[in-house]
């Protein structure tokens, strides 16, 4: 199997019926980087910057942040990297972060972009480190847990101020800055066109989006398998995002666990999400599945299934049957 996946590495990423797809890898530490070439990923679709903070005993200094980002960019070479701004809080705790409040519901609490906007010193330092490390290259920054598009504007204005500051002091700057948002909070599903107009790209964080849509704690094993992501409500939601992205010409990806499961990846590609970011180990199996899929046929099957308002909401059997047959 391993050898088989390695052989796939250099095959063009095109489905059986000729639709292109793009597989990226998730990473968070420098040790992940060698897998970028080994897996054949087109780039890093999610770099979790909070990992550097989670393995440290104290807040990493600006220099340490810049140095990590520089090493990642150098290791990635021509492949694009999407840096997610700090996603602390919720399930990602920093023991040394003393001013973090005790929270009854940390998943719904002071986390991610909320924390960054309330502690602009922290956010500014990180953005400055990213801007400096990306001098002469394109920089992609992704904001986690956006709930309200006003948060994107606030973040953008902080970033723009940093750009001006660096330029005033004669620092090199990125050749281009792309600012994107993660779609993880269901409220954004009802503001999709405004979201698309506010960003350069969107990436669906299916772990959190599914957790919040189904009110199911992602870290609780007792309920982990209770609801199926390949279900009518969730697929309808994801399809509406794909349609809004296409309508607005915004690039869309999905970077949660769902992207790394072959059957789910097929379903996602069929409903219009053809850019997927996953753990390096999943790239081979997902690529094998997508190469073998006639996307138009699967799309017809899924569209029929999700338009039908029957009692069964689990779409997995239909998709599995299609996969088995082909």
Residue 199 belongs to what H/E stretch?
A: none
Which of 42, 151, 208, 275 is the binder for Mg ion (CB under 5 A)?
208
Q: Do residues 88 and 51 touch, judged by C-beta distance below 8 A? A: no
Does 205 engage in binding with Mg ion (CB under 5 A)?
Answer: yes
Token digits of residue 58: 């104290």
- Which stretches of the chain bind ligand PEP, using CB under 6 A? 46, 48, 87, 184, 205-208, 255-256
Task: Find the distance separating the first CA and the last CA of the chain, reported in whole Å.
Answer: 19
* Of 259, 258, 288, the residue nearest 1 (C-alpha): 288
DSSP 96: T
Q: Do residues 184 and 208 touch, judged by C-beta distance below 8 A? A: yes
Look at residue 48 and give the partner it binds from Mg ion, ligand PEP, none, a contact being a CB closer than 5 to 8 Å depending on partner kind. Answer: ligand PEP
Which residue, 32 or 208, is less far from ligand PEP as judged by CB? 208
Which residue, 30 or 107, is less far from Mg ion as judged by CB? 107
Shortest distance (Å) from residue 218 CB to ligand PEP:
8
Look at residue 274 and give the partner it binds from Mg ion, ligand PEP, none, a contact being a CB closer than 5 to 8 Å depending on partner kind. Answer: none
Shortest distance (Å) from residue 261 CB to Mg ion:
17
Shortest distance (Å) from residue 213 CB to Mg ion:
13
Shortest distance (Å) from residue 213 CB to ligand PEP:
12
Shortest distance (Å) from residue 185 CB to ligand PEP:
10
Which residue, 151 or 208, is less far from ligand PEP as judged by CB? 208
Give the helix ranges, DSSP H, for the chain.
Answer: 2-8, 34-39, 50-54, 62-76, 112-118, 120-133, 149-168, 192-198, 206-213, 232-248, 262-270, 280-291, 295-307, 316-325
Stretch near Mg ion under the rule CB under 5 A, chosen from 133-141, 207-215, 229-237, 258-266:
207-215
Does 28 engage in binding with Mg ion (CB under 5 A)?
Answer: no
Shortest distance (Å) from residue 65 CB to ligand PEP:
18
Does 275 engage in binding with Mg ion (CB under 5 A)?
Answer: no
Which residue, 23 or 204, is less far from Mg ion as judged by CB? 204
Which is it for the CA torsion 91, 97, 98, 99, positive or negative? negative
Strand, helix or coil for residue 242:
helix
Look at residue 256 and give the partner it binds from Mg ion, ligand PEP, none, a contact being a CB closer than 5 to 8 Å depending on partner kind. Answer: ligand PEP
What is the dihedral angle through the alpha carbons of 96, 218, 259, 253, rounded to the nearest 10 degrees?
A: -60
Residues that bind Mg ion (CB under 5 A): 184, 205, 208
């Amino acid at each position: 199997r391993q050898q088989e996946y390695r052989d796939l590495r250099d095959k063009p990423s095109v489905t059986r019926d000729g639709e292109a797809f793009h597989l990226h890898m998730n990473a968070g530490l420098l040790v992940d980087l060698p897998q970028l070439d080994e897996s054949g990923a087109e780039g890093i679709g999610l770099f979790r910057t909070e990992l550097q903070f989670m393995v440290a005993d104290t807040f990493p200094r600006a220099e340490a942040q810049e140095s990590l980002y520089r090493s990642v960019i150098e290791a990635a070479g021509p492949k694009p990297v999407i840096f997610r701004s700090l996603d602390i809080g919720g399930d990602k705790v920093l023991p040394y972060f003393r001013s973090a409040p005790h929270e009854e519901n940390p998943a719904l609490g002071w986390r991610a972009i909320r924390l960054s906007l309330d502690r602009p010193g922290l956010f500014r330092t990180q953005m400055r480190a990213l801007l400096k490390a990306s001098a002469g290259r394109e920089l992609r920054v992704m904001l986690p847990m956006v709930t309200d598009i006003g948060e994107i504007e606030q973040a953008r204005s902080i970033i723009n101020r940093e750009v001006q500051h660096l330029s005033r002091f004669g620092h090199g700057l990125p050749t281009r800055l792309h600012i994107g948002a993660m779609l993880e909070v269901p409220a954004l599903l009802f503001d999709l066109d405004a979201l698309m107009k506010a960003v350069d790209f969107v990436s669906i964080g299916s772990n959190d989006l599914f957790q919040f849509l189904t009110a199911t704690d992602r870290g609780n094993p007792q309920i982990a398998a209770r609801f199926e992501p390949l279900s009518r409500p969730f697929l309808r939601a994801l399809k509406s995002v794909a349609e809004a992205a296409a309508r607005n010409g915004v690039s869309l990806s999905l970077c949660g666990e769902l992207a790394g499961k072959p059957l789910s990846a097929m379903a996602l590609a069929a409903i219009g999400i053809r850019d997927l970011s996953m753990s390096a180990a999943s790239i081979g199996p997902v690529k094998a599945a997508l190469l073998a899929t006639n996307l138009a046929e699967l799309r017809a099957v899924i569209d029929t299934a999700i338009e039908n308002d029957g009692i069964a909401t689990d779409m997995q059997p239909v998709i599995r049957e299609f996969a088995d047959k082909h």
